[in-house]
Structure formats: C-alpha cells, structure tokens
Structure 1
C-alpha cells in the first residue's frame, strides 16, 4: 500500500455543451418475445449495465448497437434513439440521469431516465474516445482510447487512459502515464473520488483518484498482483470498493478511504461481474464460466448465502460488466451471450429470494409397483402460489429421468405416483427452476426399493416303472416375473448331485423335463433373480 501523486494534465479548456439537442425516445430492439424472464437481444456485445434507483428501468450499453432499455415486467428491450456506439453506462447520483460513453462521437451523453431523451452532450476532445464512465459529484470520470478504431467489441476496453469531465465547466482533464485498459467506478457517498483498475490485466493496481482538492491527485494505490480484474463496484454507502477477477475464485473488497483490504468473498468459480444492494448490506457476483451462476453474499460473510443460475434459453456464458442488483437484493438482472444458435445475447431477471422444496413418500416400495409421493414448494417461507411449475426427477448415479413438470396446488403441493423400474436406492427430486423473484432449489427423498417376490415350485411327475426305474418328468412352475425366466434344476441321489437342465420357464405353462429315477432323488430348482426379482429355490423328493 502506498501513496503517489500525479497532477492531471488539462487537455481541453473549451468544450461544447449541447443541451437537449437530440430528439430522442425509444424504438423496439431487434429480438423476439422472451420465454419467461430470459429476453433475447440480437447484438454483438453488452458491455455495461445500470438501473434506476426504483428498479423500474435497466440500461444496457451494447457497443456498436447503441443503448438499450428494459422496463420492469417487459418482455422485450427497446433501443434508445439518438445514441450511437455506447460502451459505458452509469446511473447518475440524481437517479434521473444515465451517463453514457460514446467513443465514436467523442462525447459523454446525459440521458433522461424517464423521457429517454438526450439531456446533454459533452465533447471530450477530438483525440479522445470515451468508454467506461463513473460520476462522482460534479465530475464524470471516463476511460478513453486515442483511437476510436481500436475501441471495438473484441478489445474492450482498448489501451487507454482516464479522463475527468467537470460538468459545471465542460473542462476535461487527463491523467498522464502509460496506456491501460481502464475501468472506473465511483459512489455519490464519496464525492470527488474515483477508483480505477485495469481490465483483464495481470500485474495491476487499484488506484484512488481524489478530485476534492482541485489538484486532481492520484493519492492511493494498491498492487493487486495477478488479479485479472473484470469489474469494479463501489458500495452505495461509499465505504468499500469490490474487485472481481476472471482467473480468481474471489471478490476482493477494499476500504475506499485508503484501499486497505477488507473481506475477501469466496466463490466456487472465477468471478466476472459484481454489484451491491442499495443499502450496501449485500454483494452479488457472477461466475466467469459457461452456464452462468450468480452468487449472493451478506456483507462481511465470505461464503455465499444464495446462488442462482440461468435455466431459461440456450446454454450461455457471461459477457462483460453485465450485472445489476435490485435495491433489496431480491433480484439480479444479468446479461449473457449464447453459445448456441439464436440471438447472441440474453437479459435475464433472476430471483435471489430463498426457495425450498421437500419430497415425502413411503418408507419402502417394490419395483415396478406404483407408489405415491408428495412434493412441497415454499417461496420465501410461504407455500408457492397455485400453478407454480415443479419438475420431478427419479434418479440414481448417472441415471436421471424427468417424470414430468407439474403445477402446484393452492398449498404449494404436487402429488405424483411412480413405479420404480428396478430395485435399489432411488432418489426422487423436486426441482424449482427459479423465477424473477425466487432462486432455484432442489428437494430430494431417498427410497429403498425392494425386488419383486418370486413364486417358484418344483415337482416330480411319476411315469411308468420298468426294472426299478420310473420314467417320469420334473415339472418347474415359475410365477410372473420381470426380466429373465431362467432356472437351473439338479438331482441329488446317494451317488451325488448332477444337473438336470438349465432352461427358461415358459410364461404360459410349466417347464417339463423328462428324467428317470432309480431311487430316492431330491430335485432342486434355482432361480438366480435379477435387479427386479428376488432369487428363489424350490425342492422336492421323489422315489420310483
């Protein structure tokens, strides 16, 4: 930890301020209606997201495709008119303004969150292409490139620096130094402070840029080592800054006062995007892996208290800084890119409130015979509303069968029946996929399934006797079975035991085998059993 000072160089003393100069509004986005809470969007990338304080609208910067907005409850996104290539988006401190970095226009725009009109445009200089943005007091910090050609979707953000726009005067200042892939973050609770790190770089620092003294100094920095940062977020109360990393299964937090380390939140995966709840009591992060997962933490607790995942639509992976959290941390909105055919990106509303499922059934059951079960779903501790879908699976290791998806009744209950296909231990799992309000959950019940009883008998049917030998037959009867009907028959006399036959018992009658006897003989029929049937033995004794 150390402190360093670097005076920002003034690069523009006169900039153009255009107030309400653009006719704006919103038009439908390219895409289709969603299935559930997964809204498709046919764009090349989604770089950053921001939402209004009341969670009614979410804004998405989609690179060359511009700026999009999705309203609460909507099933499609809309394009915000009057905005070209948009790389950075940040909700303003007043809750009514969205700041947007426009690299192609070399401007920063202020968009009205209600009317969706461009309220103001600020030129940042002919040689600067702004991207990521963060407001702190009267300043808007932004990352930039010297070449707008480099600012493409495959290299986001490009080698760049950090600039600061004073919205009162239109003056733009730039920090000197080596180019960096900068991402910036700020909070209205600590006005005049900007936090900076380098996107997906190995040897990086976390920097604190303090604008309060008017000298625009870089007052603190902390070496993060091989961090590979992917996102940066300051808690709304202004006390902590969180850093996620694409190669590290943690989200690190630091004090905003001096960048001293705070809680390190552990994850089961490398982390991607990060976001805080409005009261700063909870932190959310996404996994940097296919089949995006979301993690929710209580502040100060390094282990997640809830997890969620994207189950609607095709298999997807996270994009860039693509996560926002509702004010009460009950829902996350996350963007992802599809790895299969169809629209390239999706926007999901994912519930983080708790859900719980249970399954009950008989203590034991017999395979292939019907047994009854009851599954119950609780959402937020209360029975799920009638009609909530609950999927039921019958499982053994490496063997999972969906029995069906059923609507719950008014008590949050589903009653179902099943005939276990074989003996052994089976698990019946109730799966709730989650929705916009509640996270996914599983509940399982373990059932011991017995084999079917086997009815087996053997008799000796005597025949004619000649010269002390009876020419009779062995008769084997086998009741209904599942699977094979093979039996083995042996004959035991004073001389020892010899095989009589190994054969399959017909389903429409007994197995009859001719076998002469000359003295007392014991016949033993053996059925070896199967995964369905119990083994069985039958014995009879005959004399000539």
Structure 2
C-alpha cells in the first residue's frame, strides 16, 4: 500500500554494517545524497537490477536509484504516479497514474515507458498488485472505491473495471498478493476506520469473494484504517499495520480469523516481510524505535532501530534476498524525505595484487592490481596497501590510492629491511560493494 506524502526535498541516508541489536544506536550514515523528489507515493525493489524505484505523484515521475541511493535514472511524464508493482521477472514496472487515469508499463532495463493502458475517465487508479499474469488495481475516490484488472496475457492487454459485485470500498482499496498464495488477492479499506478486508479468488480472471470481514481483529481491539499489509511467504497469513491497535495484526488468509500479533507500540503504519518470513514492522514513533524485526510467529522483536526521523506509512521494503531493509523517512511531517538502508547486501568484490618476486633493499618497487565487482566500481574508490616485515610484524600502512575507471590501481614502496615482505591490498567496500583483500610476498635482498 502507498500514501502520498509531500516534502520540500528528498535525501538518502545509508546506514551500513550488520543488523543492529535491539535498542542499540543505529550505525553512522555512510553518505547522504539529495534526490529530485518533491513527494513520496510508493517504493519497490528491483533485485535483478539492484534498483529502488520510487514514485513521486506531485512531480509525475519515478526516480530510480541504486541500493546506496545514487540516482541512476528518472521516468518523467507519468501523471500522479503512485502505486507500483513489478512483473515476476522484474522486467517491467507498472505504475498507477492517479492523475492520468491509466497504468503505465516501464521497461526496467531501459527505464522508458513501453506502454500505457487507459483505465477510464475519473477512475483515479492508486494501488497495484500482481497475481499471475493479471495486474489488479484499486481505484476510485470519495465513497466509490473499487478494484479493476489488466489482463497482460491477452494478445492485446485490456482493462476490466469492477469485476467484483461485492463490497464497495470507501476509496481506492489497498491491495496485497504473493506468489506463495496463487490466485489470491486481498483488498482492504485504507481510508475508513474500521475497515473491511476482503479475500478474493482471482484465479479465473474474475474476482470471486472468498471471505469478507468488517472490522477484523480480536475484541475489543478491532482494526483501524489499514496503512499497509503483506502476505507471509508460506501463503497462510495476512499481516496488517493499521495505526491502532498498537501491534501488527495477523490473520489466517483462509478465513481472516485472528492468528497472533507483533507488538510494536503506538501507531504501526508499515509492514514488510522477507523471504525467510522475518517481519519488519514500522511505527510512527517520535522517541522510540521506528522499526522492529520479528522472526515469523514470535512475539518478541529480534532487533529495534531508531532512525532519527519519521517513518512514512508503508515506507518499508526488503531486498528480494532478504538481507537489506529499506526505510523511507521524513524529517518531521512534510519535511525532507530520506531513504535509510539497514544491512545493505554487498555485491561481491575481488582485488588483485602483483609485485616482482624479488626487490632490493632501499630501492623502490611497484605493486599494482585491479578491483572488480558484480556491480561497477566507481573511479576514485580507494584501496589501502600494507607491508608486513621483520621491522613491522604487525604491519604498517604504506599508502592509500584510488582506482581508475577500469578498477586498476598502482602504488610504490621502498622496503628498508632484508627478508620477506608481505604486501596486502585491502578494499573496505561500501553500501553496495563487498570488502576484498589480497596478498603477495616479495623477497628483499641487499
């Protein structure tokens, strides 16, 4: 689910390192980069291209960043771009164009729009969910919320409006789906408290109501208007964040009966579930932790994170590998928006080092090598050369040098003692590149 939030600017703060222990201070920011966004609608993570795709309804565009927040592209001319969804192969991004009464298809490799499907005048599509080869969308405002579908398997994909004759939502409903629950679509009131939650069987291409419950949840808690929801990887449960009560609620997907909670404290407003079932819960907290992670089915959080800013509704997303959690935050209500990364996955890196087999004491020798990674390494990335010999058994730093555009590096040293000198080159890594090191031994003669 997504909510539009306006801000004066957009920045990215990357907290690197291992996941923090509960209650520990967050890791220091690795870097901050201003991004050209004036509002926030929705975010999805493209694990194939290692991109975050963030919609900006106010500026009618989608901004694309790498995992560290560096802008790699923009898709403009997308009126009111709000809800986002990826095709199963991550080859196509779909965007609900709330102000354009359409759904755009965007090629994630070229970051260009490849098709646009009209949904009808005044439909105002807002939320998306993919089920098989059909894209479902929540649409409508002001007491007239419905769901529609876009059949992508047809030779000419076509839109069908209101295929359900059941409950009419107050506004465009928030949607949830998962490959682990094939043929299932969940829709819920996002702007009505208490809400109605409905589970549909959409395997036939038409939404058939399986179960619909008004104000689900255990008495006397009930449920507030739902900010976000997600289906567990086993396809058996639905987890919702609704502001109140002060915990994530868990429902059996089969009948929407209450099936547990994840305690968070006041105002839960975001939920994201990793492939291994780890539940990330976000709250609108001023002084307490903003994000908690739980092992599936466990009522005590494994970790807590104080982000230092306000977590946005539905502002959490996992990398498909489950090793990085992305959080969208704002510096106060309406303030600058930030992206914070917890436990960013590293692209494996390799660094090599070569040197002559022998060198003369007191004479310069040249060492060189290359730094490579699955993701391109930026020119200027630095590597550190260390020498260990009989005079420096604990090692001494010789120099730190940058790599060029091809990842190559070169350094010189003057050894001052005879014997074996072991040279080590180290790359510390960054938010998206793993650390790497290599060694070489040189015999130092008279």
1:180 correspondence with 2:175: no
Aligned residues: CA RMSD: 3.2
How far did 1:216 drift? 2.4
Residues 239-318 of structure 1: pairs in structure 2 closer than 5 A: 239-279=236-276, 281-290=277-286, 293-311=290-308, 316-318=309-311
Secondary structure in 2 aligned to 1:203?
Answer: coil
How far did 1:352 drift? 8.5
2:98 and 2:115 map into 1 onto residues whose CA distance is 16
1:33 and 1:50 map into 2 onto residues whose CA distance is 16
Between stretches 70-79 and 91-100, larger displacement belongs to 70-79
1:47·1:320 contact (CA, 8 Å) conserved in 2? no
Q: Which has the higher contact order (CA 8 A, sep 6+)?
A: 2
Residues 226-245 of structure 1: pairs in structure 2 closer than 5 A: 226-245=223-242
1:306·1:352 contact (CA, 8 Å) conserved in 2? no
1:131 correspondence with 2:126: yes
Q: Which residue of 2 aligns with 1:36?
A: 30
1:114 and 1:42 map into 2 onto residues whose CA distance is 21
Q: What does the per-residue CA deviation read over 1:166-198, in whole Å, with 9 as the maximum and x for residues that have no partner? A: 222403131355442311111123232210111
C-alpha change, 1:290 and 1:77, in structure 2 (3 Å) is farther
How far did 1:300 drift? 0.9
Q: What does the per-residue CA deviation read over 1:414-457, in whole Å, with 9 as the maximum and x for residues that have no partner? A: xxxxxxxxxxxxxxxxxxxxx969xxxxxxxxxxxxxxxxxxxx
Q: Which runs of 5+ in 1 are unaligned?
A: 1-28, 151-157, 354-386, 388-408, 411-434, 438-544
Number of aligned residues? 316
1:61 maps to which of 55, 62, 80: 55
1:170 maps to which of 147, 158, 168: 158
1:337 maps to which of 330, 336, 347: 330
1:109 maps to which of 104, 110, 121: 104
Residues 328-477 of structure 1: pairs in structure 2 closer than 5 A: 328-339=321-332, 344-351=336-343
C-alpha change, 1:43 and 1:74, in structure 2 (3 Å) is closer
C-alpha change, 1:230 and 1:44, in structure 2 (3 Å) is same
How far did 1:243 drift? 0.6
How far did 1:328 drift? 4.4
Q: Which runs of 5+ in 2 are unaligned?
A: 1-7, 14-28, 217-221, 346-383, 385-393, 396-429, 433-446
How far did 1:299 drift? 0.5
TM-score (norm 1): 0.53
2:169 and 2:144 map into 1 onto residues whose CA distance is 5
1:349 and 1:302 map into 2 onto residues whose CA distance is 24
Q: Which residue of 2 aligns with 1:319?
A: 312
Secondary structure in 2 aligned to 1:87?
Answer: strand
Q: Which residue of 1 aligns with 2:367?
A: none
C-alpha change, 1:267 and 1:33, in structure 2 (3 Å) is closer
1:195 maps to which of 186, 193, 196: 186
1:32 and 1:352 map into 2 onto residues whose CA distance is 17
TM-score (norm 2): 0.63
Q: What does the per-residue CA deviation read over 1:238-277, in whole Å, with 9 as the maximum and x for residues that have no partner? A: 3322111112221112233333333311113321111011
1:89 correspondence with 2:84: yes
Structure index of larger Rg: 1
Q: Decide which structure has greater strand share.
A: 1
1:295·1:308 contact (CA, 8 Å) conserved in 2? yes
How far did 1:42 drift? 5.7
